[in-house]
Amino acid sequence: MDYLEFANLPMMWVVSAPIVLIALIQALVYLKRAYSAALEIGFDRDMLNRCIRSSIITSIGPSCAIGVGIVGLMKLIGGPMAWQRLSVIGALIFEGPNVAFAAEGLGLTLHEITPMAFAAICWAMGLSGIFWQLNVIFFAPSYEKILHKVTKGDEKILSFIVLSTMMAIFSRNIIPNFLVISRSTFATIIGAGVMVIMTLLCKKLKQDWIAEWTLPVSMLVGMFGALAF
Amino acid sequence: MENKNNFDYENYSKGVISWGRTTLLISIFLAFLPAIYLAVGHGLWPGLDMIKKAFIPIVAAWGILWLIEPISYYPILGLTGTYVSWLAGNILNLRLPCSILAQQIAGVKEGTKEGDIISTIGLSTSVVVNLIILVIFGIAGVQILEFLPSSLNEAFDYVLPAIFGAMMASYAFRNYKLAILALVIALIVKLAKVSSGLELMLIVFPTVIIALLLNKNANRIKNTCK
């Protein structure tokens, strides 16, 4: 059986759902508590409802953009895993590369993934999300204190470290595409090009909503555009 | 906005922390359900060795982020926001905008306790909406893929290169010098042809360290020129 057949088993949807459900339940409980708390403090109910309404509207665009990412990822890890990973902790920029990294670690190309390898990848992807969470579980109540000690007031340092790490990772995966020319090379160039165009458009036209679509659109144009070469 | 009715923040905070810890802990186990199912239901237990091999590149790539990101976003998300966001994910593109917008509408200051409560309302709403929409995409996505002409199937091989190119371009906008530095270091290490795990370390650490050093120097020079 091809690994994707395992990946798309109906039961895979069933076992991928609980974590999504828990995210939903967590949010609903927090929503109820925060709403009650806000009312108790004295905030106006109408105004709180406006907050909720605007949050709903603001969420639609980015959610659809993430949805497109799910479709793109489905071919790699099947519907259930793609849906689960992008619904909860983990975003396209992590999960997509994670599949590649995991396969690499196993000494396989993306085309050589066996059902057993896929199972290992599922474990690896599961593990990849939990460390953020363990961090939060143990240390979140202390973040305030730690922040002051570590950065000594220079908060920008942390975000700078994050930025440089991400650039390093992406560079590592981009460079091979320029050392050996293939359709992947064109996918990279087109992806980058569309991103540049859309980002400039977003800035020039001052339309913030374009921002969330930059990644999915760049991905789509890049992946299909590569076929032209 | 003052605390008109002497609301008990202490108690509320404790509730936030305990609910957050509980749900995150549960989610840690639930993340492995698909893998456990494959092992138990289909005999696909890859063994610790294979799992290690698959996981090590991922740690090498993102380990630093696991340590640093939660605390970096904390000033913006607040305490409750931290628990919500690290379960539901999609922080930069979705949670942050909703959090900030809600606080603006309510007229509260970010980083205050009122801000935290209002931000929670914005964030939780976004989680609910987001998850509903993604269920739709999950179901529709499978249908779309089935109707896609097979000649286009190859396109999915290029999902990752396209994403990497796009993300690199996007970050380059924020700091093009850093982008060039990262690419150059990656080129050098790649030409050196070392093993995969080592390679990731050799690319990530020097990039971060050199970037920090250059940044410090840049700031120092700016200051002395004033």
The tens-digit pLDDT sequence of chain B (226 residues) is 455 567 888 889 899 999 999 999 999 999 999 999 999 999 999 999 999 999 998 998 888 888 878 887 787 777 888 999 999 988 867 787 788 778 877 888 766 788 889 989 999 999 999 999 999 988 888 788 778 777 777 787 788 788 888 888 988 887 888 899 999 999 998 888 876 667 777 887 788 888 888 877 655 544 443 3
| Chain B residues within 8 A of A12 when measuring between CB atoms | 34, 37
Mean pLDDT of chain A: 87
Q: Give me the half-sphere count of Cα atoms (radius 13 Å) on the Cβ side of residue A114.
A: 9
pLDDT at B3: 54
pLDDT at B195: 67
CB of B126 closer than 8 Å to CB of A55: yes
What amino acid is encoded at B33 in this protein? Answer: L
Does residue A10 carry a pLDDT above 60?
A: yes
Helix or strand holding residue A192 (H, E): helix A183-205
pLDDT band at A114 (very low <50, low <70, confident <90, very high): very high
pLDDT band at A163 (very low <50, low <70, confident <90, very high): confident
Contact yes or no for B86 and A133 at CB 8 A: yes
pLDDT at A155: 59
Q: Which member of A67, A136, A215 has the closest CB to residue B137?
A: A67
Does residue A61 carry a pLDDT above 90?
A: no
Q: Collect all residues with Cβ–Cβ distance below 8 Å to A207 and sequence separation of at least 6.
A: A201
pLDDT at A212: 64
| Secondary structure (3-state) at A208 | coil
pLDDT at B226: 34
pLDDT band at A27 (very low <50, low <70, confident <90, very high): very high
Q: What is the 3-state secondary structure (H, E, C) of chain B?
A: CCCCCCCCHHHHHHHHHHHHHHHHHHHHHHCCHHHHHHHHHHCCCCHHHHHHHHHHHHHHHHHHHHHHHHHHHHHHHHHHHHHHHHHHCCHHHHHHHHHHHHHHHHCCCCCCHHHHHHHHHHHHHHHHHHHHHHHHHHHHHHHHHHHCCHHHHHHHHHHHHHHHHHHHHHHHHHCHHHHHHHHHHHHHHHHHCCCHHHHHHHHHHHHHHHHHHHHHHHHHHHHHHC
Residue carrying structure tokens 């930069």: B92
Torsion of CA A128, B88, A110, A14, to 10 degrees: 100
Q: Which member of B120, B173, B182 has the closest CB to residue A34?
A: B120
Q: What is the CA radius of gyration of chain B?
A: 23
| Chain B residues within 8 A of A80 when measuring between CB atoms | 34
* pLDDT greater at residue A149 or residue A171: A171
Q: Which member of B1, B88, B129 has the closest CB to residue A60?
A: B129
By C-alpha distance, the chain A residue nearest B195 is A105
pLDDT at B217: 63
pLDDT at B4: 56
The whole-angstrom distance between A206's CA and the closest CA on chain B is 16
pLDDT at A229: 86
pLDDT at B223: 43
Q: Collect all residues with Cβ–Cβ distance below 8 Å to B99 and sequence separation of at least 6.
A: B76, B77, B78, B81, B119, B122, B123
